[in-house]
Amino acid sequence: MRRFPAEWEPQSAVQLTFPHEQSDWAPILSEVIPCFVDIVQAITRFEPVIMVCNNVETVKKYFSAPNTFPIYWIELPSNDTWARDHGGITIYNDDQPLILDYVFNGWGLKFPADKDNLITQQLVKQNLLVPFYQHGGIVLEGGALESDGMGTLLTTAECLLSPNRNPHLSKVEIEAILKQQLGLERVLWLHHGYLAGDDTDSHIDTLARFCHPDTIAYVKCDDPEDEHYSALQEMEAELKSFRTLEGLPYKLVALPWPDPCWDLEGNRLPATYANFLIINGAILVPTYEVKQDMEALSILKNVFPDREITGINCRVLIEQHGSLHCVTMQYPAGALPTI
């Protein structure tokens, strides 16, 4: 029997893929590296990190401070740094961790991904991840999936039904594959909601997140003049219509809508507080140097009272259209044979 664990369950490590001069970070590499270092140092207070990098010796120089938990250094080539989407997706099969490795095609053929697509199988071959491995056979990214750990998946139609991902499959067929491979009872589809500047075709982890089996945090826009207003109002209505496995409405937690962030060319960037990362004992929350940052931290503290809430300045991350959750992938307990 298969089960897709929730992110708040015990973890063995978090993977990051470090930026380098051949990635899209090249023009602002010196600015983004400190952000990655901050994320890694925050995680290693609570659990180990798997660090995939083009050159281990170069990256090690950024980490002189001692860590409570270890960093596992892995030298592998990469196109970019979005571990959420090229990282392995772990389920439990009869309580045994199983790494599912789906095709990553650069969010529907938007960007090169040939090197990133090979990383998970290389981690398995190098014995960093458990040898229980299965190729998923379809195009699918971790940022598109939200699990309550009890058989419910939350996702978006915009992403999973993108014509450049699995054009040969219908919605019914994709849902059947997900149910079989992830051990799901049901899939909740959002058909509304987006973020300007988002390259992922509306990944769920930028819009709405399970916090508990009965609680969903989501981005809410109250400004009728904002371009997102109508779509996010419709998304909120969809969330209100969903029911838990027990038939009850979900407890919905509205996250603040940050002031707009823009790049140098005047393009809006996808700043979202929904892109937080749940780790052992803590919640890492992206902040953007705007006045709503503290409110977001306070709201999530109420949602996760038993965990430390740590804000990390991710303003530079959204320059490449992703945030904190996007650059990380957690592996649940048992997924690393050394832990």
Sequence spans of domains, the chain: 2-332
Strand partners, 249: 243
Residue 274, amino acid: A
Q: What are phi and psi of 123, to 5 degrees?
A: -65, -35
Alpha-carbon gap, residue 249 to 272, rounded angstroms: 24
Indicate the average pLDDT of the chain: 97
Is the pLDDT score of 92 beyond 70?
A: yes
Alpha-carbon gap, residue 50 to 12, rounded angstroms: 10
Which is the catalytic residue, given 35, 221, 314, 326?
326
From 80, 104, 76, 86, select the one nearest 19 (Cα to Cα). Answer: 80
Alpha-carbon gap, residue 250 to 242, rounded angstroms: 7
Is the pLDDT score of 339 beyond 70?
A: no
Tens of pLDDT along 2-54? 999 999 999 999 999 999 999 999 999 999 999 999 999 999 999 999 999 99
Alpha-carbon gap, residue 201 to 220, rounded angstroms: 18
* CATH top class, domain 2-332: alpha beta
Q: What are phi and psi of 37, to 5 degrees?
A: -60, -45
From 136, 89, 137, 92, select the one nearest 2 (Cα to Cα). Answer: 92
Place of tokens 């990553």: 104
Tens of pLDDT along 52-84? 999 999 999 999 877 899 999 999 999 999 999
Determine if the pTM surpasses 0.95: yes
314 assigned to active site: no
pLDDT at position 285:
98
From 78, 122, 79, 75, select the one nearest 99 (Cα to Cα). Answer: 122
Average pLDDT (118-136) is 94
**CB-CB contact of 141 with 205 (8 Å):** no
On the CB side of 78, how many CA atoms lie within 13 Å of its CA? 29
